[in-house]
Structure 1
Amino acid sequence: MIYTITFNPALDYIVKVEDFRLGEVNRTSSEEIYAGGKGINVSIVLRNLGIDNKALGYIAGFTGREIEKKVKEFGCKTDFIELNEGMSRINVKIKASEESEINGSGPSITEKDLEKLYIKLEELSNDDILVLAGSIPKTLPENIYETIMQRLNDRGIKFIVDTTGKLLMNVLKYSPFLIKPNHHELAELFNVELKNEDDIVYYAKKLIDLGAQNVVISRAGDGAILVNSKLEVFKSDVPKGVLKNSVGAGDSMVAGFIAGYLKNKDLVEAFKMGVATGSASAFSEGLATEEKVYELLNQIK
């Protein structure tokens, strides 16, 4: 089974305003509400690709119940922990001549709430996949990903970690199956300027040396690079299309990689599937659908 964890999910309230004016009453031309959060995005795209998974994490209040409802509407299984106080956050995304965001902070998560999650994670066993994605709320310890991987490290679980900075660097010793920084995040990890592809490959290999099994570096319109545990390097272009949506493209790449890998355990095919799925979300108003992914897959070289 594939499990995703979203510590701080949200309702993403997306509004389009033709001529947004600060300090005045503005009228929307369209409105949409989605369940948001990196782990949730991975779960939804996996389900769109026909792959069962279970979304874990925390919800609170009426917004939390709406998040769970929307995730279930995509056919995903859920096992969220409902907090007694607070409410899951609402993120407001204003699409006008420029895009602006107002992100909520979310509810507090206590040590007792964490223990409830640890109990659920005890169910995981050999060949399960656990996706740890995104930032964490301020109320959680900074080493939470590290703690989870340490507790489960001897079970044969494949860890996929999509986060940045210290959160990522501190888990490399537990040999995550896949990490997916973009090229900007890679530069920040080592506090360097990446001038060309050779620089990207050099520092991606350093992440392998530090413990990662597979590293995918996403590069937006310039494609992506995969470095595996044998230090083999694979480079991909991106298919042609019109960018419509940058939200969830990276999460979709993670979901596509998982889906591709599960077919025949081929890392290159997984990489191609990841690029196609990330592109499918980027070229759509919402998250990638199976039809759009396979439409793009044959274009990946």
Structure 2
Amino acid sequence: MSQEVLILGLNPAWQRLFYLDKFTPGEVHRIERVEEYGSGKGINCALVLRLLGGSPLMMHFLGSEHGSRIFDEISAYGIQQAPVWIKEPTRICTTIVSGGDSTELIEPSPVLTEYENEDFIQTLNDYWSSTQSVALCGTFPLGFNIEQLNALDFAGKKIYVDAIEGIDTWLEKGVELLKINMQEYCKLLTRLGLPIVLSSPQFWKMTATAVLERLPIKALVVTDEDAPVRAFRLVEKKFQGVQIQPPQIQVNNRIGAGDSFFAGWLYADGMGMDFEHCLIKATAVATARCEVDRPCNLKLERVAEVEMMLADAVEKLE
């Protein structure tokens, strides 16, 4: 995969990971192990895409000491960056991992100034015309001028989105992939005025068809933790839906599983894989990510093993 992917992960975080045998709110805990590293949806995606053999260009807002540490760490992984340096510090995300469960404490994002917004769009314009593939990951910082992003010319570009807030204009212009989780899918249905009747056996076909008919989305994917991953598209205006059940594994840490799935799909699509094989690859990547402590420790041989396990696991949704 030689094609470069511009990853807009505009709201990164410095991750503090606390490991405990047992976490009980209201009690004093002695932490067994602490890890700290750069994180956030865009960073997780870029790290995994790089491991898979992709060529990410990471663009993000970085501030203060933690921003500098993120820049140095991502550079050490061989990932090209186009940082926009800001006055306020990069937020900290503190995660407590205990017994396979994670509790996340996320600080508010930094608030951008008008000058920092101008710096962002000028930096982005330096890369936009030469970029064919763009991946938008996660939320925007407070004070971000979304209108300047929406005003960009999308002609000739493949746009991939792993976000739900502030993306309506992007979806209306047309995207290759919208990857969201179940909670986000319900938000999207509500925004579109579509009923959410989960008990209906036709829920997925009816809602996904309605979304794809209203918005020029080539592939819609909905993840839901341990439940099947579902992917939808319209082929010559006819509904096509498939699902795949991730295998049962010993979970080490789920942080960044969705971001890893997104990276797996980006890689597979960039390699020219078909719809179902993109789903298999992405699910295998997300599964293998959950078995290790950090996205950067993903094992490619394990990804290949899970792909083999899932090769005949794709089910059609009628």
**Could you state the TM-score of these two structures normalised by the residue count of structure 1?**
0.89
In the alignment, which residue of structure 2 is the partner of 1:54? 57
* Residues in 2 aligned to 1:124 and 1:116: alpha-carbon distance in whole angstroms: 14
Structure 1 gaps, min length 5: none
Please provide the CA RMSD for this pair: 2.2
* Residues in 1 aligned to 2:159 and 2:150: alpha-carbon distance in whole angstroms: 8
Which stretch shows the higher mean deviation, 29-38 or 198-207?
Answer: 198-207
In the alignment, which residue of structure 2 is the partner of 1:150? 151
In the alignment, which residue of structure 2 is the partner of 1:222? 227
* Residues in 2 aligned to 1:242 and 1:22: alpha-carbon distance in whole angstroms: 25
Secondary structure of the residue aligned to 1:181 is strand
Structure 2 gaps, min length 5: 191-195, 314-318
In the alignment, which residue of structure 1 is the partner of 2:166? 167
Provide the identity percentage: 23
In the alignment, which residue of structure 1 is the partner of 2:36? 33
**2:15 is aligned with 1:12:** yes
Greater RCO, 1 or 2 (C-alpha within 8 Å, sep 6+): 2
CA, structure 1 residues 19+283, in 2 after alignment: closer, same or farther (shift >3 Å)?
closer
Secondary structure of the residue aligned to 1:48 is helix
Q: Give CA-to-partner distance per residue, 1:194-242, whole Å, 9 cap, x none.
A: 2366312322222212221211111322221211242322222223422
* Residues in 1 aligned to 2:153 and 2:123: alpha-carbon distance in whole angstroms: 12
* Contact persistence 1:126–1:157 (CA under 8 A): no
In the alignment, which residue of structure 2 is the partner of 1:100? 103
* Residues in 2 aligned to 1:298 and 1:150: alpha-carbon distance in whole angstroms: 43
In the alignment, which residue of structure 2 is the partner of 1:256? 264
* Contact persistence 2:111–2:143 (CA under 8 A): yes
In the TM superposition, structure 1's runs of 4+ consecutive aligned residues that sit over 3 Å from their partners are 17-26, 96-100
Q: Give CA-to-partner distance per residue, 1:135-182, whole Å, 9 cap, x none.
A: 2222224xx2x642431322x111111112x52444321101100122
CA displacement at 1:245 relative to structure 2: 1.9
* Contact persistence 1:49–1:289 (CA under 8 A): no
Higher strand share: 2
The correspondence for 1:112, drawn from 110, 115, 121, is 115
Secondary structure of the residue aligned to 2:243 is strand
Q: Give CA-to-partner distance per residue, 1:114-143, whole Å, 9 cap, x none.
A: 2222223222247621111112222224xx
In the alignment, which residue of structure 1 is the partner of 2:293? 285
* Residues in 2 aligned to 1:207 and 1:33: alpha-carbon distance in whole angstroms: 39
The correspondence for 2:92, drawn from 86, 90, 93, is 90
* Residues in 1 aligned to 2:276 and 2:130: alpha-carbon distance in whole angstroms: 23
* Residues in 2 aligned to 1:205 and 1:134: alpha-carbon distance in whole angstroms: 24
* Residues in 1 aligned to 2:277 and 2:74: alpha-carbon distance in whole angstroms: 28
CA, structure 1 residues 264+100, in 2 after alignment: closer, same or farther (shift >3 Å)?
closer
**2:140 is aligned with 1:130:** no
* Residues in 2 aligned to 1:22 and 1:268: alpha-carbon distance in whole angstroms: 43
Secondary structure of the residue aligned to 1:239 is coil
Secondary structure of the residue aligned to 2:230 is strand
How many matched pairs? 295
* Residues in 1 aligned to 2:169 and 2:304: alpha-carbon distance in whole angstroms: 36
The correspondence for 1:298, drawn from 287, 308, 315, is 308
In the alignment, which residue of structure 1 is the partner of 2:281? 273
* Residues in 2 aligned to 1:99 and 1:240: alpha-carbon distance in whole angstroms: 18
Name the aligned partner's letter for residue 93 of structure 1.
Answer: T
